[in-house]
Amino acid sequence: MTKENALPENSENTPRVPSQLVPFFPGDPRINRKGRPKTVDAIRKLAQVIADEEIDYKGETFTKIELILRDWASSRVFEKQLAFVQYAFGKVPDQVFSDGRDVQIVVSWDKVVNGPHAS
């Protein structure tokens, strides 16, 4: 390699490793010390705290969950309306009207047509 083609040691053309690809080290500020919640109960508790926060909306004070439920109730999206009704009054039970034992299917072959000239 000639001196003309050689790159200097600290050149801008030298590939650099992005900071997020560097392994963690003790005291690294990127480490999430709190971590994710360990259980669903912890998530539920956090969601309840957030839902209970108060917000001033159009001159009135509401909780976040109250605004969400009001949005669902007045929405034109069926899934939101259904979720609102299910939270308000409970889920409609999935009932099977027949367990299959008392159902009888009868097929009648009284007049079978075999072709265009059949009588």
Q: Where are the domains of the chain?
A: 36-89
**Averaged pLDDT, 82-99:** 83
Q: What pLDDT, on a 0 to 100 scale, did the predictor assign at position 11?
A: 55
Above 60 in pLDDT, residue 21? yes
- pLDDT, tens digit (0-9, with 9 covering 90-100), for 95-108: 766 666 666 777 77
User: Residue 62: is it exposed, middle or buried by C-beta count within 10 angstroms (0-12/13-18/19+)?
Assistant: middle
The secondary structure element, H or E, covering residue 61 is: strand 60-63
Cα-based distances in Å from 3 to 6, 7, 13, 54: 5, 8, 16, 69
Lowest mean pLDDT among 18-22, 39-43, 67-71: 18-22
